[in-house]
């Protein structure tokens, strides 16, 4: 695999768009102005810590309106009332899946990695790190933050 930071960024963008599309049946786009952090309405942030092969964290921050829209779409067939519990659960699970998929796609095949349990941090925004990604679903922004690409490069 190409070890440049750009190729790692491209890989992360590809994994995020494809996995959410597979899971939620919605189209995900990389925001044109990817380096600008958008304002999120009532953000719901999930955090998951990476324990191995290096320390780091993944976060996802979604505006409440987008989170409710995704939950309503996904649970439509289940006749479930969409409440905070469902919305939080969905946000955690999306992050869990994205973090696992990013790790599996960036590390060597069969390489070991260990993720913690995703937790919700209501209202928190991603930290000021430079490894955040800005995506959109139906014009609604969401942010995904990863450990710095340099940390992945060491493991390749």
Partner 1 sequence: MKHILIVDDSSTARLCIKTCIKSAGIRDVTFHEANNGKEALSVLMNKKIIPDLIVTDLNMPLMNGELLLKKVKSSPKFTDVPVVIITSTHNASLENRLTECGAFAVLNKPVTAGSFSSVCDHLIPGAEPTWG
What is the contact surface with partner 1 in residues (CB under 8 A)? 19, 22-23, 74-75, 78, 80, 86, 89-90, 92-94, 96-97, 99-101, 103-104, 107, 110-115, 117
Tokens of 71: 């939950």
Smallest gap from Cβ 35 to partner 1, in A, equals: 28
Name residue 17's beta-bridge partners. Answer: none
Smallest gap from Cβ 5 to partner 1, in A, equals: 23
**Based on CB atoms, which residue is closest to partner 1, 62 or 94?**
94
What's the CA gap between 45 and 123, in Å, rounded? Answer: 7
Helices within 25-83 (DSSP H only): 64-74
**Based on CB atoms, which residue is closest to partner 1, 61 or 91?**
91
Tokens of 136: 């959109």
Smallest gap from Cβ 114 to partner 1, in A, equals: 5
């Amino acid at each position: 695999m190409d070890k440049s930071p750009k190729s790692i960024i491209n890989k992360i963008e590809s994994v995020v768009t494809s996995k959410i599309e597979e899971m939620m049946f919605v189209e995900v786009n990389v925001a044109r102005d990817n380096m600008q952090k958008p304002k999120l309405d009532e953000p719901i942030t999930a955090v998951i810590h990476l324990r191995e092969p290096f320390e780091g964290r993944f976060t996802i921050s979604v505006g409440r309106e987008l989170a409710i829209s995704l939950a309503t779409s996904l649970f439509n067939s289940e006749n479930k009332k969409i409440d905070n519990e469902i919305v939080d659960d969905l946000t955690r699970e999306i992050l869990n899946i994205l973090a696992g998929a990013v790790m599996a796609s960036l590390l060597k095949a069969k390489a070991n990695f260990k993720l913690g349990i995703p937790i919700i941090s209501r209202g928190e925004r991603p930290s000021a790190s430079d490894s955040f990604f800005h995506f959109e679903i139906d014009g609604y922004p969401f942010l995904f933050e990863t450990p710095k690409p340099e940390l992945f490069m060491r493991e390749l």
